[in-house]
């Protein structure tokens, strides 16, 4: 039996895995707007972490024929998760994890405040580390070609953000699974350069469709059709940003592991490692057609494929194995999903509330992270129950260290 609720629209239907979780009116309206687009195929899928976004909801899976909607991909192109199992156990961790957290914060530039010159704005002003330089060298030529065709893409950070965490809901965690095995996990994407690519092409799509914008339910849903002037450049740019994001996560994970080796006993990596996008577009075959599948805040969950579904600060996270459900286009949620805006969370909760919610986790407990407090997110247990037909749980993780920008 499908776990999806079905909503009919003036366009294609919406299948939403939202039983037992909140589907806000604004998110449903955005899903209906997307469903009415002439290029959208068969149905739109909404994951249980679905919530309002720019143009298209976060937590949606959108198949399109011979077209791509840049706002559905979003501006944090290639954002995703990485997790690695280690041979460490809970008993190998010290009683106080403050030194481990401090070592990770020193190893990975993060946030916008100055932390010894290691914030994410000026991280490499004293020199680019050799691994970062090598990773950039593998990406630089294609980026240069994109900038030659679209000079505005070259105005901002590119190599300077490679190997950095960022802010918002991006994080690094040390976790224990149900066996008390230690995991390292992180969440980040293509940083400033991906944001610039996404923003630029969203506006370019609006400009290219200026005569048709009035016929769109939302001008942010402007799209490029195959063969159109900028379609191929956008595909190239998104593919490049996705590879940048994956490289960014690998560089940070290497730095996290090096920091952990300074503070903990010698260890090796375990058998499981996952590095997956949850903001991206890919060419796939569904319901008898070759289509572009855009996952905006959703993870591919094909049969047997491993993915990561994180909770919020202080909540459980999951390593999952996909069930290949065709109704979700072989997808699952990318997290718990916000239950309220950042501003509302800051108004509603105090530092004391946040400290209680993150008790037992070595993390920031100050006013600057109130918008990321667990209560600002949907309950992860309800989110997982709503998608039981999409994934099976392989490991359940509980965080003991969390680093936020």
DSSP-derived secondary structure for 152-215? GGGSS-SGGGTT---STT-EEEEEE-TT-EEEEEEEE-SHHHHHHHHHHHHHHHHHHTTTTGGG
- Does the residue 357 lie in any domain? no
Query: Distance between CA 11 and CA 107 in Å, rounded?
Result: 49
- Does the residue 370 lie in any domain? no
- Does the residue 364 lie in any domain? no
DSSP 305-373: -EEEE---TTS-EEEEEE---GGGTSEEESSS-BSS-HHHHHHH--HHHHHHHTTTSBS--SGGGGGGS
What's the CATH code of the domain at 235? Answer: 3.90.1860.10
pTM given for the model: 0.94
- Does the residue 355 lie in any domain? no
Domain that holds residue 33: 5-339+377-404
Q: Which residues of the chain have pLDDT under 50?
A: 114-117
Cβ(11)–Cβ(43) below 8 Å: no
The count of domains in the chain is 1
Q: Dmax over Cα atoms in the chain, in whole Å?
A: 64
Look at residue 15 in the predicted model and tell me its pLDDT.
98
Query: Distance between CA 52 and CA 31 in Å, rounded?
Result: 9
Cβ(313)–Cβ(357) below 8 Å: yes
Walk across the sheet containing 58-64 and list its strands. 5-7, 14-16, 44-51, 58-64, 289-296, 279-286
b/e map of 224-247 (b: 16 or more CB within 10 Å)?
beeebebbebbbebbbbbbbbbbb
Cβ(320)–Cβ(305) below 8 Å: no
Look at residue 117 in the predicted model and tell me its pLDDT.
41
Token pair of 305, please? 């494929």
Cβ(278)–Cβ(295) below 8 Å: yes
Cβ(17)–Cβ(48) below 8 Å: yes
Look at residue 160 in the predicted model and tell me its pLDDT.
86
Cβ(391)–Cβ(330) below 8 Å: no
Q: Which of 396, 384, 360, 400 is nearest to 178 (CA)?
A: 396
- Does the residue 69 lie in any domain? yes
- Does the residue 40 lie in any domain? yes
Question: Is 334 part of the annotated catalytic residue set?
Answer: yes
- Does the residue 173 lie in any domain? yes
- Does the residue 223 lie in any domain? yes
Distance of CA 56 to the CA centre of its chain: 15
Write down the catalytic residue from 170, 277, 334, 354: 334
């Amino acid at each position: 039996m499908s776990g999806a609720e079905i909503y009919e629209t003036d366009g294609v239907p919406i299948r939403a895995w939202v039983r037992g979780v909140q589907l806000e009116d604004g998110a449903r309206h955005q899903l209906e707007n997307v469903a009415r687009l002439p290029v959208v195929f068969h149905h739109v899928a909404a994951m249980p972490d679905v919530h309002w976004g720019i143009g298209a909801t976060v937590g949606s899976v959108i198949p399109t024929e011979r077209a791509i909607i840049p706002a559905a991909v979003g501006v944090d192109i290639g954002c995703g998760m990485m997790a690695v199992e280690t041979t460490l156990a809970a008993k190998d961790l010290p009683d106080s994890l403050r030194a481990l957290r401090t070592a990770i914060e020193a190893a990975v530039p993060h946030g916008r405040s100055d932390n010894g010159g290691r914030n994410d704005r000026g991280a490499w002003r004293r020199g680019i580390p050799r691994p970062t330089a090598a990773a950039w060298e593998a990406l630089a030529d294609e980026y240069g070609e994109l900038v030659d065709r679209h000079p505005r893409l070259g105005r901002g950070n590119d190599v300077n953000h490679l190997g950095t965490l960022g802010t918002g809901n991006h994080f690094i965690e040390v976790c224990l699974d149900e066996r008390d095995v230690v995991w390292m996990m992180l969440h980040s994407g293509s940083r400033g350069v991906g944001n610039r690519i996404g923003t630029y092409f969203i506006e370019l799509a609006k400009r290219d469709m200026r005569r048709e914008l009035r016929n769109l339910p939302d001008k942010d849903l402007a799209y490029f059709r195959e063969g159109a002037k900028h379609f191929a450049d956008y595909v190239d740019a998104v593919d490049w940003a996705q590879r940048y994001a994956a490289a960014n996560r690998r560089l940070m994970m290497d730095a996290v592991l090096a920091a952990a080796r300074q503070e903990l006993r010698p260890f090796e990596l375990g058998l499981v490692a996952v590095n997956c996008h949850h903001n991206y577009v890919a060419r796939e075959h569904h319901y008898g057609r070759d289509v572009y599948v855009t996952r905006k805040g959703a993870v591919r969950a094909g049969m047997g494929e491993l993915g990561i579904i994180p909770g919020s600060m202080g909540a459980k996270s999951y390593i999952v194995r996909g069930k290949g459900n065709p109704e979700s286009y072989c997808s699952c949620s990318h997290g718990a999903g916000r239950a309220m805006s950042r501003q509302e969370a800051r108004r509603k909760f105090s530092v004391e509330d946040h400290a209680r919610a993150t008790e037992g986790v070595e993390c920031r407990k100050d006013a600057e992270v109130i918008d990321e407090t667990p209560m600002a997110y949907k309950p992860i247990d309800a989110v997982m129950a709503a998608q039981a037909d999409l994934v099976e749980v392989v490991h359940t993780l509980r965080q003991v260290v969390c680093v936020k920008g």
